[in-house]
Amino acid sequence: MPQGNPYGSRGGRWMTTTKLRALVNADRTYDEIAEANERSEGWRPSRSGVKRKLEALGFEPRKKSHVDLVPWRPLRPEHADAELRHMLQAESRRRQLAPGEQMSETDRKLVSLLNDLLFGRGRPKVVGYHPEVGFYLADREESDQDIIRHPRADSYTAPGLNDPSPLEEPARERSTHGAESGASARRGTYATE
């Protein structure tokens, strides 16, 4: 059986733009659109191919970004499944709902839990993130604009968190020691010099 795309690297023919728009407006999945294209034109594009075609036609991506409430990049892998992260993403989805759309029951519970944590304990709180600590709650300050502490406003200078690694120190000592003892005619150079 021959492998590869018989239509070449450019793919096959797409159904008319009108048909594509009708399928998108009917909330068809990428797989369903690909299947309809196969029935209509004899060629089945991949899901990512359908996504790229729809973006080229001006449709917004179906999966919306949550960068507004989870702006910290990169997250450490051990913090990717944190409960506060899931709560922030649920709140972001709530904010992105179209008029008349309903939240899922899971998202409703997560948003309710987040509101209880942020506003139900006396002083208002915000969610912050630090790569060494993970997600945390902190008292709200005047500089906080939303329910998160923006990464630029967060202080990452807690004692011990940004200290040089003990492995880095001996290497620096060795390189300066060699230059001072006259073992080398050249002096070690550093980025700070």
What pLDDT, in 10s, does the model give residues 96-139? Answer: 887 888 888 999 999 999 999 999 878 999 999 999 999 999 99
The pLDDT of residue 9 is 53
Q: Beta-carbon neighbour count of residue 126 at 10 Å?
A: 21
Per-residue pLDDT tens over the stretch 151-167:
875 555 444 444 444 44
SS3 assignment, position 180: helix
The pLDDT of residue 1 is 45
Cβ neighbours for 28, distance < 8 A, ≥ 6 positions apart: 36
| Mean per-residue pLDDT of the chain | 78
Residue 180 scores a pLDDT above 80: no
CB 126 within 8 A of CB 137: yes
CB 117 within 8 A of CB 148: no
More confident position, 98 or 69? 69
The pLDDT of residue 176 is 44
Determine the distance from the C-alpha atom of residue 32 to the mean position of all C-alpha atoms in its chain, rounded to a whole number. 27
Least confident of 20-24, 136-140, 179-183: 179-183
Give me the percent of the chain exceeding a pLDDT of 90: 46
* Neighbouring C-alpha atoms within 13 Å toward the C-beta of 112: 7
> DSSP characters for 32-43?
HHHHHHHHHHS-
CA distance 49 to 61: 13
Mean pLDDT of 64-76: 86
Residue 175 scores a pLDDT above 80: no
The pLDDT of residue 10 is 61
The answer to whether the Cα torsion of 119, 135, 147, 99 is positive or negative is negative
Residue 193 scores a pLDDT above 70: no
Residue 82 scores a pLDDT above 70: yes
Cα R_g (the chain), whole angstroms: 27
Residue 181 scores a pLDDT above 50: no
SS3 assignment, position 158: coil
